[in-house]
Amino acid sequence: MPHFQFQYSFFLFGLALLPILLLLFLFAKNRKKKAFNKIGDPILVKQLLANYNTSSYIKKFFLFTGAMGLLIIALANLRTPSGSDKLSSNGIDVMIAIDVSKSMLAEDIKPSRLERAKQLMNKLVDKLDNDRIGIVVFAGKAYMQMPLSTDHAAAKMFIESSSTESIPTQGTVIGDALKMCYASFNKNEKKYKAIVLISDGEDHDENAIKIADQLGQEGVMINTIGIGSPQGSTIIDETTGELKKDKDGNTVITKLNQDELKSIAEKGNGVYQLFSNSDAVVAGVAAQLNSMDKRSVTDDSLLRYKTYFQYLAGLALIFLLIEFFIAEIKKTKTSRLKPLMTLAFLFTSLLASAQNEKENIKKGNDAYKKNDFTAAVNDYNTALKKEPANATAQFNIGNALYRSKKTDESISAYDNAIKYLNKPVEKANAYYNKGVVLQNNNKIPECIEAYKNALILSPNDDDARQNLQKALKKQQQQQQQQKQNKDQNKDQQKKQDQQPKPKPSKISQKDAEQKLQALQQQEANLQDKLHKVNAASVDKPEKDW
């Protein structure tokens, strides 16, 4: 049996108007009866009511009241979950923890440890069809990148966006990452929980093995993947392009710490694998996860619904049409009901239009997940043509335009979304996305303003706070560089000013003219000599180096 529910249940309070309409109807009917009784002449009353159909009056009222009730229910959007789209399967919960510290930039694993780790995780996600996946990134701190979900396409997007810039605090705290992963699991379950940790193991946290032991006792399986080489490698500093050095000026050599990763896997009832071949490592981890007990996993975050508002609105329209054609002696009564029928048409068209807009947005979302950003932009634009104030379409088109490298248009779309969004959190998200686009375009002052607006609306937004800190730091670096350049220019100008200047000549005009004539004569004599030399010499080829 389908499970009916209302999307906008607050509209149902409008049904309270129906009893009020019934009371008004009974009151009006009673007043008519009293008015006829006051006449007192039954023959006259009968003549007055000769062309009046009392039953029609009652039918018209109930048809109108029924239509109003149906329209209210239609506005509440009666719907049922679509069974074919409900995501339910037998699986486990898997948290992926990715090391994004600076040591992951080492190139002993080409093209780099981090890039190879991201490729590895994407292949692993493809193997976890029936499992819920979450992502934690960590360096000097650990942050939740994506909570547990069956949306594997989103998981890949988050993995791909992971970088050393994701976390401002450097270092490697595996213990914090393990605790963050555990916080995402259902505490009431003693199994069905697994962590996949990929790192070079250069841990600055001595509690990692102890925490792994505690999680293992709580039924969590921890599998570790070591990426890097025991011999180690240098690190290219992204900001300077030079080799990374420690505080003493020595070149940093980052080495794979297999012993710690093996200990973590052992305490967590899992296995450790050294990265060598992506397919082999993924197959090993997938086999280990498949050996775990499974339970039914249901995720309704992407649940779709079948709606019935159009049927209710259509039935209400039929009621009003029938009511309109029922004859009644007073035409003014009918004329007063015509605006109500027009209102019904308006409700129906608005609801149908809203449904079409949602379909266009859904199509755009599907295209976006397939990385077909051009198609996504077209679908979102179609929704905007039907409702230019649709904030969801404006927000989504901003994301799609950004992925299409159309950054200026993307920023404009976010600005439009901000105009129409009402909820502070949603508006904060639009400011945050705008800030990311501006920051990637190196428009630092503008992105700082966007992040500040996001934090005003959502003070607990850690991502906005971190990005604001990075932007402020970069702005400070730019200002320092500009100051240095300015100081250098001043120093150069000062040196030029300090150069000794030649003293003005005190020679007379007559002497100057005589010296000029002598120079001109020397020049003429020299040209004569050159002509004679050229006439006597053999031509030789000229060299251009």
What is the per-residue pLDDT across 241-295, written as a single tens digit (0 to 9) for each?
A: 788 888 788 888 999 999 999 999 999 999 999 998 889 999 999 999 988 888 7
What is the per-residue pLDDT across 463-507, written as a single tens digit (0 to 9) for each?
A: 888 888 888 888 888 888 888 888 787 777 776 666 555 445 455
pLDDT of residue 4: 78
Greatest C-alpha distance within the chain: 150
Mean pLDDT, range 81-98, rounded to an integer: 74
pLDDT of residue 206: 72
| Rounded distance between C-alpha atoms, residue 129 and residue 46, angstroms | 79
Instruction: Quote the tokens at residue 226.
Output: 């070591």
In the three-class reduction of DSSP (H, G, I as helix; E, B as strand; rest coil), residue 97 is classed as strand
CATH 3.40.50.410 segments of the chain: 87-299
What is the per-residue pLDDT across 125-142, written as a single tens digit (0 to 9) for each?
A: 999 888 899 999 998 889
| Rounded distance between C-alpha atoms, residue 447 and residue 372, angstroms | 27
| Rounded distance between C-alpha atoms, residue 95 and residue 223, angstroms | 10
Mean pLDDT, range 158-185, rounded to an integer: 87
| Rounded distance between C-alpha atoms, residue 140 and residue 178, angstroms | 13
- With 90 as the cut, is the pLDDT of residue 222 above it? yes
Q: φ and ψ at 388, to 5 degrees? A: -60, -25
pLDDT of residue 395: 85
Residue 221 banded pLDDT, cuts 50, 70, 90: very high
Mean pLDDT, range 100-111, rounded to an integer: 89
Residue 528 banded pLDDT, cuts 50, 70, 90: low
pLDDT of residue 274: 94
* Identity of the highest mean pLDDT range in 361-370, 431-440, 523-532: 431-440
Mean pLDDT, range 348-369, rounded to an integer: 68
Higher pLDDT, 42 or 330: 42
Mean pLDDT, range 435-462, rounded to an integer: 88
DSSP 108-173: SSSS-HHHHHHHHHHHHHHH-TTSEEEEEEESSSEEEEEEEES-HHHHHHHHHH--GGG-SS-S--
Q: Which CATH architecture has domain 87-299?
A: 3-Layer(aba) Sandwich (3.40)
| Rounded distance between C-alpha atoms, residue 63 and residue 24, angstroms | 15
Mean pLDDT, range 168-193, rounded to an integer: 86
pLDDT of residue 539: 37
pLDDT of residue 225: 95
Mean pLDDT, range 76-83, rounded to an integer: 76
Choice among 44-58, 376-390, 499-513 with the minimum mean pLDDT:
499-513
Residue 191 banded pLDDT, cuts 50, 70, 90: confident
User: Are 63 and 322 a contacting pair, CB within 8 Å?
Assistant: yes
- With 70 as the cut, is the pLDDT of residue 340 above it? no
Residue type, 417: A
Residue 332 banded pLDDT, cuts 50, 70, 90: very low
Mean pLDDT, range 152-159, rounded to an integer: 88
Higher pLDDT, 415 or 384: 415
Mean pLDDT, range 318-338, rounded to an integer: 66
Mean pLDDT of the residues in the chain: 80
pLDDT of residue 304: 62
What is the per-residue pLDDT across 342-352, written as a single tens digit (0 to 9) for each?
A: 444 444 444 44
pLDDT of residue 298: 58
Mean pLDDT, range 417-432, rounded to an integer: 86
- With 80 as the cut, is the pLDDT of residue 401 above it? yes
Closest CA to 470 of 446, 448, 492: 448
- With 80 as the cut, is the pLDDT of residue 543 above it? no
- With 50 as the cut, is the pLDDT of residue 181 above it? yes
- With 80 as the cut, is the pLDDT of residue 445 above it? yes
| Rounded distance between C-alpha atoms, residue 103 and residue 202, angstroms | 8
- With 90 as the cut, is the pLDDT of residue 355 above it? no
- With 80 as the cut, is the pLDDT of residue 78 above it? yes
Please report where in the chains the tokens 């949602």 appear, as a residue. 358
Residue 79 banded pLDDT, cuts 50, 70, 90: confident
pTM of the prediction? Answer: 0.43
Mean pLDDT, range 49-70, rounded to an integer: 81
pLDDT of residue 339: 44
| Rounded distance between C-alpha atoms, residue 351 and residue 308, angstroms | 11
